[in-house]
Amino acid sequence: MSEETGGIITKFSESIGVTEPALKLILTVFAGYPLALVHRKYLYGKEVSLQHLFFILTGFSLGYWNYGSNMYHCVFTIFFTYCTLLLLKGTAISVAVTFVFSFLYLLIGVAYDYYDGHQPLDTLSADSKKVALQKRPSLLELFGHSFFPAAFIVGPQFPMKRYLEFSQL
């Protein structure tokens, strides 16, 4: 971050009586709206991989602006979750391992939805049937979902299946 940018944010945060990290957080959340407009105008309905890359680059950039090099936590957790799903498939063990490891990283839902996708349909609730993942998300999809700019800073708060349906329209 340049000193000029830090200076502007610092001065503005002091002038309105909030901490700099709090101001950065709210600005980052609000940045999701114009980025959503850019996506809608230029990328919506286009190649799915391009959309995933847009979400990864914009979300990661916003995260880096907030957290700097501490973003390695996010990247490592996504890789760990992906490897867990790859090696342990849609099993209860994959849910347990992901739950224990990434409790604070909000990726537990992906493991649960993948687990639900491997259960008999008649055992699932109506909501679980809607979000169950029969196919393991690709690493690109997992990164895109995790760094989706409108939700990245406060965690993916929507199911992976909803993200996939959105990006594949």
- HSE, side-chain direction, 13 A CA sphere, residue 34: 5
In tens, the pLDDT along 120-140 reads: 999 999 999 999 999 999 999
Q: Is the pLDDT of residue 44 over 90?
A: yes
158/123 Cα distance (integer angstroms): 22
In tens, the pLDDT along 89-123 reads: 999 999 999 988 877 566 788 999 999 999 999 99
Tokens linked to 15: 């002038």
Q: Is the pLDDT of residue 70 over 80?
A: yes
Q: Which domain holds residue 126?
A: 3-167
- What pLDDT score does 164 carry? 94
Residue 63 main-chain phi, psi, to 5 deg: -65, -40
In the chain, what is the straight-line distance between the N-terminal and C-terminal CA atoms, in Å?
36
- What pLDDT score does 2 carry? 46
- Of 78, 84, 106, nearest to 96 by C-alpha is 84
Tokens linked to 137: 């998300």
55/148 Cα distance (integer angstroms): 5
104/165 Cα distance (integer angstroms): 25
- Global pTM value: 0.74
Q: Give, in order, the Cα–Cα distances in Å from 42 to each of 55, 98, 104.
A: 13, 35, 34
Which amino acid, residue 20? Answer: E
- What pLDDT score does 1 carry? 47
Count up the domains in the chain and report the number: 1
- Of 105, 167, 111, nearest to 141 by C-alpha is 167
User: Which residue reads 């299946």 in tokens?
Assistant: 161
